[in-house]
Amino acid sequence: MISFEVLDFVSYLLGLIDARKWDTFRSYALEPSPAHFRARTDVIAQIPEFNGMTMLHAIVKCDSPPELVLDMIAIYPALAEAKDCLGRTPLHVAAGSAADP
């Protein structure tokens, strides 16, 4: 079972994504270390309400900076191939959104 603390943290990150506060998102999601980011990503993958989506799926829907996408993939390469419950990778989600190329 996922703790309320984790759910609150994920909710906060999603709010930053919706508000497109990329610098703040980066400081909370990617720091203090790559190991922390990978661990958080693994926990998020266990949240049933996410339907298999990762934070990478979430940011590419909202026209995130390409550098942020590349940094997330550099830290955790498997994210680029992660599939949600519909079988979509983050690339599929980005292509289906209104995000700039």
What pLDDT is attached to residue 23?
97
Rg of the chain, C-alpha, whole Å = 13
- Within-domain flag for 47: yes
pLDDT of residue 15: 96
Per-residue confidence in pLDDT tens, the chain, 101 aa: 778 888 899 899 999 999 999 999 999 999 889 999 998 888 888 888 889 899 999 999 998 999 999 999 999 999 999 999 999 999 999 998 866 65
Residue 100 lies inside a defined structural domain of this protein: no
**Is 25 part of a structural domain of the chain?**
yes
Domain that holds residue 11: 4-95
Domain assignment of residue 65, yes or no: yes
Q: What is this structure's pTM?
A: 0.87
- State how far the Cα of 68 lies from the Cα of 33, in Å rounded to an integer: 15
Residue 41 lies in a domain: yes
Q: What is the total count of domains within the chain? A: 1
- Asked, for residue 26, whether it belongs to a domain, the answer is yes
The answer to whether residue 101 is domain-embedded is: no
Distance CA 39, CA 61 (A): 22
Is 22 inside any structural domain? yes
Which of left, alpha, beta for 87 (phi over 0: left; psi -120 to 50: alpha)? left
